Amino acid sequence: MALNIVIAGSSGRMGHALLEATLADTDLKLHAALDRADSPHLGRDAGELFGAACGIKITADSAAALQGANALIDFTRPEASMEYLAACRKAGAGMVIGTTGFNAAQKQTIADAAKEIPIVFAPNMSVGVNLLINLVQTAAKVLNQGYDIEIIEAHHRHKVDAPSGTALRLGEAAANALGRDLAQCAVYGREGITGERDPSTIGFATVRGGDVVGDHTVLFAATGERIELTHKASSRATFALGAVRAAKFIGSRKNGLFDMRDVLGL
């Protein structure tokens, strides 16, 4: 039996990709499409946004949308995600969260909710990025002396948080492999007379511009050589396909907090 899926943020760029991926997957059924209360697209057929009417009208009523749903997929903003999370808890539906920019309290709320419903929470749903995370961990363990670690990420001009959630996750992977605390060793941007680089730090550089979907590079730099591990996304479809895979993963689960490495068995 197909899983009933609700898509949040349906009128956005990522929402379009999620709708297409859900409608194309025979194991899933689009159950409802949600958008913010002031969206000009409320009442429209969700499929019309990308030229393929599907019979599902966009709504802002999350409680009604979640009746009979198995899971909600959310790539919106932290504040909206918290509202959708509360609705999922009340309805007993699972949730796939690809939103980034959560603060510590919001992350704790997600962890608490996972005691009641199944949640896949990951800053990046791409299969390739999650493989990259594992590769970074392996590289950091091997290159544990004499190598400076820098993380460079680029995204489109509309992204509102920096560094990206994926960049931070890559930094955590490297720091954990080296027995460091990222909160203590991260350096976010440099300006002026900074002095020599502290070898225990992990640096982050952020680029915002144009329509870049998402580029991430982890640079290990030593005397005489550099190792660069890079992932470049050319389409939001890669994140959408990972998200629907995550929705299938939690389809038969009653509760628990998972990430994409659990989904992929990494």
Identify whether the C-beta of residue 106 lies closer than 8 Å to the C-beta of residue 79.
Answer: no
Sheet of strand 202-208, all strands in order from the earlier edge strand to the far edge: 186-188, 202-208, 148-155, 214-222, 225-233
Residue tagged active-site, from 16, 31, 41, 155:
155
Cα–Cα distances (Å) from 186 to 84, 141, 150, in that order, read 31, 18, 10
CA distance 209 to 93: 36
Identify whether the C-beta of residue 147 lies closer than 8 Å to the C-beta of residue 228.
Answer: no
Identify whether the C-beta of residue 220 lies closer than 8 Å to the C-beta of residue 149.
Answer: yes
Residue 155 among the catalytic residues: yes
User: What is the torsion angle, in degrees rounded to the nearest 10, for the CA atoms of residue 179, residue 108, residue 72 and residue 58?
Assistant: -120
CA distance 178 to 189: 21
Identify whether the C-beta of residue 34 lies closer than 8 Å to the C-beta of residue 62.
Answer: yes
What secondary structure letter does DSSP report for 197? P
H or E stretch at 214:
strand 214-222
Nearest CA to 94 among 112, 116, 77? 116
Residue 248 among the catalytic residues: no
Cα–Cα distances (Å) from 6 to 32, 122, 190, 265, in that order, read 5, 18, 42, 25
Q: What is the set of active-site residues?
A: 155, 159
